[in-house]
Chains A and B, each alone.
Chain A
Amino acid sequence: NAGVTQTPKFQVLKTGQSMTLQCAQDMNHNSMYWYRQDPGMGLRLIYYSASEGTTDKGEVPNGYNVSRLNKREFSLRLESAAPSQTSVYFCASSEGSLGANGYTFGSGTRLTVV
């Protein structure tokens, strides 16, 4: 079982460039999430998708867009990268979007914007 797969694992972008982070899960989970992890800031929710066809903003959505392509895939797009977006990005999934639903995380994408 692959669980949650993220690509790429590492990326360096120049300021102003765009890119899409890909995420896929094979657990038939309904809900998917994008987090960023920064030193001293912990894990912060960027966007989530409670179910196929829906997306909602989290705590830090500015500068990002998302697409829930189908039940398996949830992508995160940076339209014009900024140095403040240098971070480690994690995709996660859960069976439901509320209640006693823990996450399965991917292995992360380490993004550097120069």
Chain B
Amino acid sequence: GENVEQHPSTLSVQEGDSAVIKCTYSDSASNYFPWYKQELGKGPQLIIDIRSNVGEKKDQRIAVTLNKTAKHFSLHITETQPEDSAVYFCATGGGFKTIFGAGTRLFVKA
């Protein structure tokens, strides 16, 4: 069936460095790719999304890139800060067709 693979499962970076999380998907018909951030004890929060007709989207320190040919998309966080420490989930599809990746736990060391 359709699935989304997310790597790495854990990522530790020094404050100020960049972090990259990558997801691959199997359904070539996917056309919506959201990213969620989940802080400890809270629900996931949509932080950025991209549609299939766009190759890259930026919002301040975060950006998402999409390669539809290779069926992968990535989250890039620049100038990381301690408050970026959280679990990040990629997903494909929207509404009830959303398929989540397994999550990446990001640690930003001060």
| Residue contact B95 to A97, C-beta cutoff 8 Å | yes
Q: Which residues of A contact B97 (CB under 8 A)?
A: 98
| Residue contact B34 to A102, C-beta cutoff 8 Å | yes
Q: Does B25 make an interface contact (CB < 8 A)?
A: no
| Residue contact A105 to B103, C-beta cutoff 8 Å | no
| Residue contact A106 to B43, C-beta cutoff 8 Å | yes
Closest to A47 in B: B96
Q: Does B62 make an interface contact (CB < 8 A)?
A: no
Q: From the candidates A43, A45, A108, name the one contacting B96 in the complex (CB within 8 A).
A: A45
Q: Which residues of B contact A56 (CB under 8 A)?
A: 96
Q: Given A43-B89, A102-B49, do A97 and B44 touch, yes or no (CB 8 Å)?
A: no
| Residue contact B46 to A103, C-beta cutoff 8 Å | yes
Min Cβ gap B65→A in Å is: 17
Chain A interface: which size bin? 20 to 34
How many chain-B residues does the 8 Å CB contact rule pick out?
22
| Residue contact B102 to A101, C-beta cutoff 8 Å | no
Q: Which residues of B contact A100 (CB under 8 A)?
A: 31-32, 49, 51, 94
The A-B contact count (CB < 8 A) is: 65
Min Cβ gap A103→B in Å is: 6
| Residue contact A48 to B96, C-beta cutoff 8 Å | yes
Instruction: List residues of A whose CB falls within 8 A of some B CB.
Output: 4, 31, 33, 42-43, 45, 48, 50, 56, 58, 90, 92, 94, 96-108
7 nearest A-B pairs in the assembled complex, by CB-CB distance? A105-B43, A97-B95, A101-B94, A100-B32, A102-B46, A102-B34, A98-B95
Q: List 18 A-B contacts (CB under 8 A).
A: A4-B43, A42-B103, A43-B44, A43-B100, A45-B98, A58-B96, A90-B44, A92-B43, A94-B94, A94-B95, A96-B95, A97-B96, A98-B96, A98-B97, A99-B32, A102-B34, A105-B43, A105-B45
Seed contacts A42-B100, A100-B49; 9 additional CB < 8 Å A-B pairs = A31-B95, A42-B101, A45-B96, A58-B96, A90-B43, A98-B94, A98-B97, A103-B98, A108-B43
